[in-house]
Amino acid sequence: MEKATDKRQEILDAAKAAFAERGFARARIEDIARKLSMGHGTFYRYFNNKLDIFFSVMDGIFADIARVVADEDPTSTETLEEYRDQIFRVGRRLYKLFLADERLAQIIFYEAPGVDPDLDRRMDEMNAAINRYTEAYIENGIRKGFLRRGLDARILAKAVNAMIFGGIRDLSASRDRERTAERWLTAVCTLMLEGMGTGRAVA
Amino acid sequence: MEKATDKRQEILDAAKAAFAERGFARARIEDIARKLSMGHGTFYRYFNNKLDIFFSVMDGIFADIARVVADEDPTSTETLEEYRDQIFRVGRRLYKLFLADERLAQIIFYEAPGVDPDLDRRMDEMNAAINRYTEAYIENGIRKGFLRRGLDARILAKAVNAMIFGGIRDLSASRDRERTAERWLTAVCTLMLEGMGTGRAVA
Amino acid sequence: MEKATDKRQEILDAAKAAFAERGFARARIEDIARKLSMGHGTFYRYFNNKLDIFFSVMDGIFADIARVVADEDPTSTETLEEYRDQIFRVGRRLYKLFLADERLAQIIFYEAPGVDPDLDRRMDEMNAAINRYTEAYIENGIRKGFLRRGLDARILAKAVNAMIFGGIRDLSASRDRERTAERWLTAVCTLMLEGMGTGRAVA
Amino acid sequence: MEKATDKRQEILDAAKAAFAERGFARARIEDIARKLSMGHGTFYRYFNNKLDIFFSVMDGIFADIARVVADEDPTSTETLEEYRDQIFRVGRRLYKLFLADERLAQIIFYEAPGVDPDLDRRMDEMNAAINRYTEAYIENGIRKGFLRRGLDARILAKAVNAMIFGGIRDLSASRDRERTAERWLTAVCTLMLEGMGTGRAVA
DNA sequence: GATGAATGAGATTTCATTCAT
DNA sequence: TATGAATGAAATCTCATTCAT
């Protein structure tokens, strides 16, 4: 049984690589099998079909992201400083996750969209879950008084996450990734906490 | 000549719909032709091949976006209030563009990525162009004194645009779109200019 | 009426060029029309279909060849010297014909075979006619006594013509064509009249 | 492995028949497959594409011919009698090869020319190789003294081969092939060694 | 369980031919 | 008479999936 799980994982990994490299449509089952020196008929012992394994690959990616995002308790933050630290902490972990495996960004941003309506929906749902998480942080901040009252927490949460994922996308294409990651975290915090304005008289 | 241009435009439009609905791979040339009650061979009188028309569709979309984005002069803004107005103005036009044609968001966010490396590159380039534009706004703001010195204009510009396009994506999926659009614009402005913090003592 | 004949001839010539250049299958009616700056629909006013014009082109070529071959009277030759002169005369005219228009050899040897069973048959018939002609020369030679008795005139005629057409094929691919043509004529005459042997005691 | 090679050979043979019967352009992959009661997709497991298999068919034919032609040593002939015997021997084998498989002549003379420039070139090369071979025979004959000095060996070799292949072509269309083959061999020898003249005073 | 040969649905693309203008 | 837009038959080729060994 262990053996079977290992093999499944192996196939999953080869498939992830193939999908990242060539996209869903152009990746061939036979290529994936050949990379593992196994008959491509064997593939169908572990997965029902091509879409099935793509969903499995995506599930793994979603789980990786969820693990990072859900690692902190949104209600535990008490001050703006703590919040800032938290953003950096979560952000760094997230960025590290994507920097550790370039295939993630390639798949999430380029290859997965449009493959299957069901999958698009699942991506939207994962997105929504992350948005809810961020919303909880913001609402906690308002409650605790270190974020302003009257903020549109729902939309702001989405905006913040859009930035964070924009950063991930940008990171994948950048040279000095460590440095760029820090610049992004700083920029995101700036916009989240102070904005870019000089603070003089904004209605 | 007018006739031919019209026909081309007609095909282009039917293709845009097909690509938005089923994605590049699943959209069939014959579907596009049948929708226009024409022989599918006719298609090839107006476009070289399937990828060719997809590029043409995308070119149209890029041009639409560029027209909106490039409509204002980044250096003309003098005060934070003017800047905020400008953001709202450009944002509203951009959101209106996408709300007027749901297919744009579907194609840009779901169907175009991963179809062709060349096209991915062109999307990245369009993105970069918009980023440069926003960067110019921010640098102007710093120069004019209504944005803080020392800001990382390059990354902040990217972050801002990530939010704006995040808004577009969200809008397409939302109910009361007009209202949601305004909420997004407000949220983006908030983050850009003041952040969410209470302003008390942030190092 | 003259006008129409001219046009027909013009099309025929453009088609000959197209067939020689690209072969029957790859030559497109539209290309032929475009070369004449005429609508390709017009083509069908002068020819029934693509095969029809190919047949017409071939008929022209056959006629050109027949004119050269049939120009002399096989029964008028009286001596070996006259015969040799005659071979040179006819051969030169034939080689000149093909050297004057490279397309002839290209079409005859490369493009026409296999296009259509009917056409293959017509080529065979033309060939047979030439063979009969040559056979008549040989039979005349035997009768007049300057060729040996007992020769297998039928096969020898075919062999001779195979050489002559082999020469045409070779000429088209050679550099100094005038010189090569003379060498071929000399070679053909040698084989026809004396052979290559030293003449000592061949049973 | 044996199995796969057999299948490949089976397909090759069916293709040879199809190409001989209908020509390259009109032969359909599906016909070849159906003749073997196999799915047409199977074809593509053994050959890359239609041109690929045509080249393979031709390679087989070229190899068959080369084997026959290269079987004797041009320099070993010492007398005219030996030479004559040699011509008969090689000629008989060559004619036998083509008589054993009618498709060879059909493909070589009717279907292959003009299919593909590359292939035309390869046919020309094969031809050239045979010509060089015959040239070696003639040069040997001159050296050994049983052929006349001063002969234009290069062109004469081409002329001789043109006759021999002319014979092949003629054979395929004839009734009593065995008899015709002998007549051709006799005719070729006559022209090669003595010519048709009576031998009286030819300048 | 593993294999890979076989399958055939399905999509793109070409271009001779037609026919309304 | 000339035109060229429209047509669709026809053919190639790909590759996910099946299944006998």
Query: B202 and A80: CB-CB below 8 Å?
Result: yes
User: What positions of strand F are covered by protein, i.e. any atom < 7 Å from a CB?
Assistant: 1-20
Confidence check: pLDDT of D199 > 70: no
Per residue in C137-195, pLDDT tens? 999 999 999 999 999 999 999 999 999 999 999 998 899 999 999 999 999 999 999 99
Distance separating alpha carbons of residues A81 and A22, to the nearest angstrom: 44
Confidence check: pLDDT of D1 > 70: no
CA of residue C41 to C1' of nucleotide E19, angstroms: 10
Provide the 8-state DSSP code for A38. Answer: S
CB count within 10 Å of CB B186 equals 17
pLDDT at B203: 41
Interface test mutation site (partner C, options D169, D196, D200, D202, max chain C beta carbons within 10 A): D196
Which residue ranges have CB below 7 A from strand E? A 4, 7, 38-42, 44-45; B 26-30, 40-41, 44, 48-51; C 26-30, 40-41, 43-44, 49-51; D 4, 7, 33, 37-42, 44-45
The CATH homologous superfamily of the domain defined by B72-194: Tetracycline Repressor, domain 2 (1.10.357.10)
Work out the angle at residue B63's Cα, subtended by the Cα atoms of residues B61 and B65, and round it to the nearest 5 degrees.
70
D27 touches strand F (CB under 7 A): yes
pLDDT at A199: 66
Distance separating alpha carbons of residues A47 and A53, to the nearest angstrom: 6
B13 torsion bin: left (phi>0), alpha (psi -120 to 50), beta (else): alpha
pLDDT at A198: 85
Per residue in C95-147, pLDDT tens? 999 999 999 999 999 999 989 989 989 999 999 999 999 999 999 999 999 99
CATH architecture of the region A57-194: Orthogonal Bundle (1.10)
Q: Which nucleotide is nearest to D45 (CA to C1')?
A: E5
pLDDT at D173: 86
Query: Which chains have 3 or more CB–CB distances shorter than 8 Å to chain A?
Result: B
Three-state DSSP at D197 gives: strand
Distance separating alpha carbons of residues B4 and B6, to the nearest angstrom: 5
Distance separating alpha carbons of residues B168 and A125, to the nearest angstrom: 17
Question: Residue C198's pLDDT band (boundaries 50, 70, 90)?
Answer: confident
| Global pTM value | 0.89
Distance separating alpha carbons of residues B53 and B59, to the nearest angstrom: 10
What would the mean pLDDT of D153-179 be, rounded to a whole number?
Answer: 94
CB count within 10 Å of CB C155 equals 25
Q: Are D165 and C169 in contact (CB under 8 A)?
A: no
Q: Are D169 and D197 in contact (CB under 8 A)?
A: no
Q: Hey, what CATH topology would domain C52-194 get?
A: Tetracycline Repressor; domain 2 (1.10.357)
Interface test mutation site (partner A, options B193, B196, B198, B200, max chain A beta carbons within 10 A): B196
Say which amino acid occupies B180: T
Q: Are C105 and C168 in contact (CB under 8 A)?
A: yes
Burial D113-142 (b: 16+ CB within 10 A, else e): bbbbeebbebbeebbeebbebbbebbbbbb
Distance separating alpha carbons of residues D200 and D203, to the nearest angstrom: 10
pLDDT at A201: 44
Sign of dihedral through CA atoms A7, A8, A10, A11? positive
Three-state DSSP at C202 gives: coil
The tokens 């250049």 sit on which residue? C21
Q: Which nucleotide is nearest to B46 (CA to C1')?
A: F5
A51 touches strand F (CB under 7 A): yes
| Of C5-9, C71-75, C92-96, highest mean pLDDT | C92-96
pLDDT at B202: 43
pLDDT at C114: 87
pLDDT at A203: 41
Q: How far is C4 from chain D (nearest CA, A)?
A: 32
pLDDT at A1: 56
pLDDT along chain A (203 residues), means of 10: 81 96 94 95 95 97 94 91 92 95 94 91 94 95 93 96 96 92 96 85 43
Distance separating alpha carbons of residues D84 and D185, to the nearest angstrom: 10
Integer angstrom CA distances of residue B9 from B14, B82, B101: 9, 39, 16
Distance separating alpha carbons of residues C48 and B91, to the nearest angstrom: 63
Query: Which chains have 3 or more CB–CB distances shorter than 8 Å to chain B?
Result: A
Distance separating alpha carbons of residues B156 and B149, to the nearest angstrom: 13
Domain ranges of chain C: 1-47, 52-194
The residues with which C197 forms a beta bridge, in sequence order, are D147
Burial A5-25 (b: 16+ CB within 10 A, else e): eeeeeebbbbbbbbbbeebbb
pLDDT at D2: 65
| Residues in chain D within 8 Å Cβ distance of C177 | none
How long a stretch of residues is chain C?
Answer: 203
Q: Which nucleotide is nearest to C43 (CA to C1')?
A: F2
Q: What's the count of helices (H) and strands (E) in chain A, helices before strands?
A: 9, 0
pLDDT at A22: 92
Q: Which nucleotide is nearest to C44 (CA to C1')?
A: E17
Query: A186 and B158: CB-CB below 8 Å?
Result: no
Per residue in C100-114, pLDDT tens? 999 999 999 999 998
CA of residue C51 to C1' of nucleotide E17, angstroms: 12
Among chain A residues, CA nearest to B157: A187
Provide the 8-state DSSP code for B74. Answer: G
Confidence check: pLDDT of D202 > 60: no
Query: Which chains have 3 or more CB–CB distances shorter than 8 Å to chain D?
Result: C
Per residue in D3-23, pLDDT tens? 778 899 999 999 999 999 999
D55-194: CATH, from 1.10.357.10, 3.40.50.2300, 1.10.150.120, 3.30.110.70: 1.10.357.10
Alpha helix segments (H runs only) across chain C: 2-26, 29-35, 40-46, 50-69, 80-100, 102-105, 117-144, 153-172, 177-189
Confidence check: pLDDT of D63 > 50: yes
Instruction: Extract the residue ranges of chain B whose pLDDT is less than 70.
Output: 1-2, 199-203
Three-state DSSP at A147 gives: strand
Domain C1-47 has CATH 1.10.10.60: yes
Per residue in D118-142, pLDDT tens? 999 999 999 999 999 999 999 999 9
Q: How far is B67 from chain A (nearest CA, A)?
A: 23
Tell me chain A's radius of gyration from C-alpha atoms: 20
Per residue in C3-22, pLDDT tens? 778 889 999 999 999 999 99
Per residue in A120-158, pLDDT tens? 999 999 999 999 999 999 999 999 999 999 999 999 999
Contacts 24+ apart (CB under 8 A), B43-51: B43/B11, B46/B4, B46/B7, B46/B8, B46/B11, B47/B11, B50/B24, B51/B115, B51/B116
